[in-house]
């Protein structure tokens, strides 16, 4: 039996202005737009200090990993047990799916309506941990 391990728990796509274009979170304890603005500001500040910007940070048992592609910031959290290189590979794969799903014309003429990205879950479900799996981890 092959066990398929999903790498990412929660996921966000941020515009260069800090707007959360897409997000998928298990436990929505925070406002996603506030979170997006904060991460964009942190990443911009880090870019002033280093050309790479902020690529990851840890909070308790989670790691937040960021990948900037074009002008968009792809952010995911995962267990600290998952190697960062593996998370970055997933973010690369997801960013490619994003750009394949939404043409340059759509992105360049985007009017701020995040609803057009709502169906992106179908494109990335193989990368995201499922709710039932998270529940099982907590109790088994």
Q: Could you write out the DSSP letters of every residue in 50-99?
A: -TT---EEEETTEEEEEEEETTEEEEEEEETTS-HHHHHHHHHHHHHHHH
What domain count does the chain have? 1
**Residue 34 vs residue 132, higher pLDDT:** 34
Task: State the CATH number of the domain containing residue 37.
Answer: 3.30.450.70
The tens digit of pLDDT for each residue in 35-72 reads 888 888 888 888 888 877 788 888 888 899 999 999 99
Q: What is the pTM of this model?
A: 0.81
- At a CB cut-off of 8 Å and minimum separation 6, what does 67 contact? 55, 73, 74, 75, 88, 91, 92, 95
Whole-angstrom distance, CA of residue 10 vs CA of residue 75 = 8
Q: Which domain holds residue 42?
A: 10-103+127-139
The tens digit of pLDDT for each residue in 84-134 reads 999 999 999 999 999 999 999 999 999 999 999 988 988 887 666 554 454
């Amino acid at each position: 039996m092959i066990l398929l391990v999903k790498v990412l728990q929660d996921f966000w796509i941020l515009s260069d202005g800090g707007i959360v274009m897409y997000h998928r979170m298990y436990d929505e304890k925070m406002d996603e737009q506030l979170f997006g603005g904060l991460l964009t500001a942190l990443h911009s500040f880090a870019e002033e200090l280093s050309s790479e910007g902020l690529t990851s940070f840890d909070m308790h048992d989670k790691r937040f990993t960021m990948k900037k592609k074009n002008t968009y910031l792809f952010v995911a959290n995962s267990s600290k047990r998952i190697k960062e290189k593996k998370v970055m590979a997933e973010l690369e794969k997801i960013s490619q799916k994003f750009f394949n799903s939404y043409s340059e014309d759509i992105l360049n003429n985007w009017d701020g309506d995040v609803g057009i990205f709502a169906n992106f879950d179908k494109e990335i479900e193989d990368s995201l941990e499922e709710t039932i799996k998270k529940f099982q981890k907590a109790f088994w």
